[in-house]
Amino acid sequence: MQIRTIIPLVLAVLLSGCYQPQRDCQGFKDGTFTFKSIIDGKESTTTFVRNGDLEIDYFNGKADSSNIRWINDCEFVATKLQPKNKAEEQAIHIKILSTTDNSYTFEYSRIGDSRKLRGTAIKTLP
């Protein structure tokens, strides 16, 4: 009787361990995206337009440009074109972890910083 219970349980564990999230990054190399974050306890929205090796971020009425260097289909490094301080001089590594039809979940950190943060970007225009 116990063997009938154990075999389905083992199969369920093995099959669930094989699940891989969707990760089709090609569709997110170019386009217009929004990203929401919490800054000082308030939700803030950044809109960014990525086209080729250029990304323009719009935040609080200001635009800022970055050079994009793709490492592979799902990872890239963003470097500010006109950094205003030492912190902005550090490039940011971004890795797309999973995708849906119109969004992607990503992990990001400054180059050299072991602390990784996560976010989700929603594609609003192709």
Can you give the pTM of this predicted structure?
0.80
Q: Cα(113)–Cα(8) distance, rounded to whole angstroms? A: 44
Structural domain boundaries, residue 82: 22-125
CA 66 to chain centroid? 16
**Predicted confidence (pLDDT) per residue in 27-41, tens digit:** 999 999 999 988 889
Overall number of domains in the chain: 1
- Whether 58 is covered by a domain: the verdict is yes
Say if 2 falls within a structural domain. no
Contact (CB, 8 A) for 45 and 36 = yes
Question: Please, are residues 89 and 70 in contact by the beta-carbon 8 Å criterion?
Answer: no
Q: Is residue 83 part of a domain?
A: yes
Tell me, what CATH number does 48's domain have? 2.40.128.490
Question: What distance in Å separates the CA atoms of residue 38 and residue 124, rounded to the nearest whole number?
Answer: 20
pLDDT tens-digit profile of 69-115? 999 999 999 999 999 999 889 999 999 999 999 999 999 999 999 99
- Is 42 part of a structural domain of the chain? yes
Q: Does the residue 7 lie in any domain?
A: no
> Which amino acid makes up residue 55?
E
Is residue 5 included in any domain, yes or no?
no
